[in-house]
Structure 1
Amino acid sequence: MADNPPDYELADRMALTRPDQVKAIGHPLRTMILQLLHERAATVTELAAALERPKSTVAHHVEVLTRNGLLRVVRTRRVRAIEERFYGRTARMFHVAAEPPAAGEQMPTDFNDFEVAARESATAFEQGKLWGFIRHARISKDQAALFWDSMAELIDEFDRLPRSGDTMYGFAIGLYPTNHPTLPTAE
């Protein structure tokens, strides 16, 4: 296994600026494909086997991700008369751009990483294997932005861990404004 996965060059971060890019990562199967490609580049055949889905279905989703700039062919090899393509991510981390989309476009809002994490973590919770914390703090928008940059570094560290062991672990992190109550300013 690579010490610094994956086994191909890619950008650290990529801002998603178009609604079609955001929609592309919102599909659960495409999200799984992106997660698998954190390990190493893979062919559609390898992805289909790992996902236990038909090759044609996986090929469709790979094409959607490629068309939207989230995947690219990182190498090829000749197998008999066919050129086999290995796909890789274009960036370690994708994030929705802070700037508003172009006029007339609207970013999709029909997916939530925490909903995915909640579904994935239910079994771990039932088995007493879920590690989690939730905290609330009244901070400025600038402090929140600086803290998020620190969390992005932690995510990057997690993504770069050497792949080993038999268990796939999920790592969910977020920062969001809430209506959580606050104490009045001390006098």
Structure 2
Amino acid sequence: MEDQTQDQTQDQAQDQDQELTVESPQQFKALSHPLRQRLLLALGGQPATAGRLAAALDSRKSTVAHHLKVLQDAGVVRIVETRKVRGGSEHLYRRTARRITVAGRDAGPTTALLGAVAEECVKAPQDPLLVLRHLRLTADQAARLGAALQALVDEAAEAPEGEPVHGVLVALYEQAAGPN
């Protein structure tokens, strides 16, 4: 039993360091649904059961279980523990990677992600900090700003369990050329 717990702890530590790049059609399809985006955001801090996620997202447990299965089949979440409860099994789910990035320029996953973030912001107990600013930057300035933003997110320390979970969305992009 102690070896199993130690293996789970090592697996969780490895997950925290891992980055998953979404590339396959199955992964893009899995990420295209707003509830699946919200599930990934909810699983960002710690593993959870379908029941706990359903309560947190104000959704039906069967709906959440279906969407978790789609995410699991796409390799975006995995079961880290199975427990026997009241004659059945309960699974504890975790994201397969702490950071999930999207390859390519397909607007579908980006739109779904921003929609999921918008839903979270609307339900936030306090007004969220939202800033959109357009800056003229050289390629070098943009690279330095991107690296600084990435470092800021990477170095953010997690508070102990029981503290509120905060979403952090960082975007730096060059606007498409066009009429002003």
TM-score, structure 2 length as denominator? 0.71
> Any conservation in 2 of the 1:78–1:84 contact (CA below 8 Å)?
yes
Q: Does 1:97 align with 2:103?
A: yes
Cα distance change of structure 1 residues 164 and 69 upon mapping to structure 2, 3 Å threshold: same
User: Which amino acid letter does the alignment assign opposite residue 138 of structure 1?
Assistant: L
Q: What residue is the counterpart of 1:28 in the other structure? A: 34
> Any conservation in 1 of the 2:82–2:91 contact (CA below 8 Å)?
yes
> Any conservation in 2 of the 1:21–1:68 contact (CA below 8 Å)?
yes
> Any conservation in 2 of the 1:71–1:90 contact (CA below 8 Å)?
yes
Number of residue equivalences: 162
Residue of 6, 9, 12 corresponding to 1:8: 12
Q: Which runs of 5+ in 2 are unaligned?
A: 1-10
Q: What residue is the counterpart of 1:72 in the other structure? A: 78
**2:64 & 2:144 partners in 1: Cα distance?**
38
Q: What residue is the counterpart of 2:68 in the other structure? A: 62
**Distance apart, 1:83 and its partner CA:** 2.6
**Distance apart, 1:178 and its partner CA:** 1.7
**2:54 & 2:127 partners in 1: Cα distance?**
31
In terms of fraction of residues, the more helix-rich structure is 2
RMSD: 3.2
Residue of 173, 176, 179 corresponding to 2:173: 176
Residue of 84, 88, 91 corresponding to 1:85: 91
Instruction: Indicate the SS of the match to 2:107.
Output: coil
Q: Which runs of 5+ in 1 are unaligned?
A: 1-6, 99-106, 182-187
TM-score, structure 1 length as denominator? 0.69
**Distance apart, 1:122 and its partner CA:** 6.2
